[in-house]
Amino acid sequence: MSSQTSAGRNAAGLCEGRICIVTGAGRGIGREHAIMLAAEGAKVVVNDLGGAMDGSGTSAGPAQDVVDEIIAAGGQAIANTDDISEWSGAERIVNQAIDTFGGLDVLINNAGILRDRMLTNMSEAEWDAVIKVHLKGTAGPSHFAAAYWRDRSKAGETNTARIINTTSPSGIYGNIGQTNYGAAKGGIASFTIIAADELARYGVTVNAVAPAALTRLTENLGMGSASDEAKEAMGPKWIAPIVVWLASTESSDVTGRVFDVRGTLLAVSEGWHQGPKVEGTLDPSSVGPLVEELMGKARPNADMLGIDRK
């Protein structure tokens, strides 16, 4: 069966003809992105290394299973099992999209792993692995996709291109036991804002989603014991609609934003802002009262739900 069969699709979808890469698309949230993109007419490169939750191991099965499902529904997709945390793998996946489908319109950086540990017990390997997959695994594909769109722009071509990154409530609000994961995801949020400013001149928007959903990565974080009703409300299918919309041509005026998506809730996350301020001092013994004044006026940090901590 051809991986590019398009029979069975009728009306044009929101992403008709859009060429999309989705990393970490073999399971969970990424799978939902790929399936919905294809249902809306996109041609999808389904990337997944096929490893375990901690990043160990490889398997072509998860990516190919999603491709088979898309093809069975009349969509167009091709599998990719490159390691996007390696620069060479990131380049190959971008080239594969261009070589197979004739271009690239959308990059969705979703791949990730977990190696949760309290900071006092975390190993160097646990830190490095998470930072590499999440942060470098976002930077690498974005670098090669952005270079492709820059070259098109310089050649006089018009882009309506998208990068959509996956951050996390842990990265923008904080969560105990996830200094490595939160640092990587916080970095992705900052990366999104800066890349949006850099790439606007080339016709590229850059946004991020901070999803909370019940997947194999979160079932051991207390979500696995939720009721059936709660599990339905927190399913990964709720994350895909905002991502598919951001991937479409309708989202051209939205860039540099982070969307908080948890179940049926959709919100825009507001980033760091300068809060209350006072005149500084050169005398360190006078700083205490100034900080007390500032803290009395400042809004508390958010909790994992994005609301003020009590």
88 is catalytic: no
Question: What's the rounded Cα separation, in Å, for the pair 97 and 166?
Answer: 20
148 is catalytic: no
Catalytic position from the list 148, 173, 181, 202 = 181
CB 12 within 8 A of CB 41: yes
Question: What's the rounded Cα separation, in Å, for the pair 211 and 259?
Answer: 8
Catalytic position from the list 185, 202, 248, 269 = 185
CB 22 within 8 A of CB 30: yes
Question: What's the rounded Cα separation, in Å, for the pair 60 and 246?
Answer: 28
C-beta atoms surrounding 128 within 10 Å: 13
85 is catalytic: no
Catalytic position from the list 85, 168, 170, 248 = 168
* Rg (the chain; Cα; Å): 21
Question: Helices in the chain by DSSP H: which ranges?
Answer: 28-39, 61-72, 87-101, 124-131, 137-154, 169-172, 179-199, 228-233, 240-247, 287-297
Residue 148 Cα distances to 61, 145, 155, 199, 277, angstroms? 29, 5, 11, 11, 44
CB 212 within 8 A of CB 169: yes
* Catalytic residue positions, numbered: 168, 181, 185
